[in-house]
Amino acid sequence: MKTYILRRLIHMIPLLLGITFFSFLIISLAPGDYLTAMSQNPQITAETIEGLRTKFGLDRPWYVQYGMWLWNALHLDFGYSFANQVPVFSLIKERMLNTFILAFSAALFAWGLSIPLGIVSAVRQNTWVDRSASFVAFLGLSIPEVFFALLMILFAARTGWFPVGGMKSIDFEYLSYGGQLLDLLYHLILPTIVLGSISMAGRMRQMRANLLDTLLQDYIQTARAKGLSERSVIYKHALRNAINPLITLFGFTLAHLLSGAFLVEVVMNWPGLGRLTLDALFTRDLYLVMGSLLMASVMLILGNLAADIMLAVTDPRIRYE
């Protein structure tokens, strides 16, 4: 296992190099940059623009710029954000935490509902409970995240029960520590529901199918024949085997939620890494775009690595050689 993890970490190096190289190339092929937009301001002289272009190396070929950026990135220096006038790393650090909070909250929501609903749906198969849970899963898988997010914003605006967007209230800085935590959780409710609904629906259907299949196994029939209660048969024998395949999917679910969080952040104005990346693209903030893409790629790769590790830990039949 240690060798496998080390090998996967080493494989991250060429993968990240390829991602950053092609991202930098595509961005460089686009006409203009942030300084080009600045040149449209009549109060900024052409000499000032050229001085800034020379200072940040934007007057050199794209491959030279990429080499300079990569060398600095290896020393955790991701450059300077032109639009925000602060180092890129300081922006990414805060926004990456916000994205992780949203993704982790959505994961708790999805798994906290999908497992109980899947169990109840399987135990009470073909009843109104099963049909209601299946209908909820159908809606969760059918409604696009963008449309669902817009519906939630409309619901918040019409009822006033939840904030329309954002992560904090205006008076957040004046609240106590407990008040700040409650305010954050209050703003987190709707984005969590939107982001976690698809995963919740998918995991619920998988839990139901796994448990129904497990209840038909011979050892379950043997346990019932020994006189064990139905509750003991389900929760002590069937559930432990039925839930094992879902545990292995947790890492992949987290990776999916991290990528899906980007879309929810933009629609619901959540100040995360996805919204930061989109704003950087609109302003042509080259180094901020590159830093955001790099951090997002690292988070997704680590999420997939966590899935592979959990797969090996929970299933002893798997050996990574």
- Which pLDDT score is estimated for 68? 82
The answer to whether position 300 is within a domain reads: no
The answer to whether position 23 is within a domain reads: no
- Which pLDDT score is estimated for 145? 76
Q: What is the pLDDT along the chain (321 residues), one digit of tens a residue?
A: 677 777 777 888 888 888 888 888 887 777 766 676 666 666 677 777 777 777 777 777 778 888 888 888 888 877 777 777 788 888 888 788 888 888 888 888 888 888 888 888 887 777 888 788 888 888 777 777 778 888 888 888 888 888 887 777 777 777 778 888 888 888 888 888 888 887 788 788 878 888 888 777 777 777 777 777 777 777 776 777 777 677 666 666 666 676 677 778 878 888 888 788 888 877 777 788 888 888 878 877 777 777 677 766 655 555 555
Closest C-alpha to 273, from 89, 28, 104, 99: 99
- Residue 321, SS3 per DSSP: coil
The answer to whether position 113 is within a domain reads: yes
Q: How many domains are contained in the chain?
A: 1
- Which pLDDT score is estimated for 185? 86
- Which pLDDT score is estimated for 76? 80
The answer to whether position 143 is within a domain reads: yes
The answer to whether position 223 is within a domain reads: yes
The answer to whether position 280 is within a domain reads: no
Write the CA distances from 299 to 7, 11, 186, 303, integer angstroms.
Answer: 17, 15, 26, 6
Whichever domain contains 103, its CATH number is: 1.10.3720.10
Predicted TM-score (pTM) of the model is: 0.74
Please give the full DSSP string across 285-298, using - where no structure is assigned: -HHHHHHHHHHHHH
- How far is Cα 101 from Cα 13, in angstroms, rounded to an integer? 26
- Which pLDDT score is estimated for 53? 73
Domain span at residue 240 reads: 91-262
Please give the full DSSP string across 151-197, using - where no structure is assigned: HHHHHHHHH-SS-SS-SS-TTGGGS-HHHHHHHHHHHHHHHHHHHHH
The answer to whether position 6 is within a domain reads: no
- Which pLDDT score is estimated for 315? 58
- Which pLDDT score is estimated for 37? 67
Q: Which amino acid is at 251?
A: G
- Which pLDDT score is estimated for 40? 67
- Which pLDDT score is estimated for 319? 56
The answer to whether position 139 is within a domain reads: yes
Residue 248 near residue 235 (C-beta atoms within 8 A): no
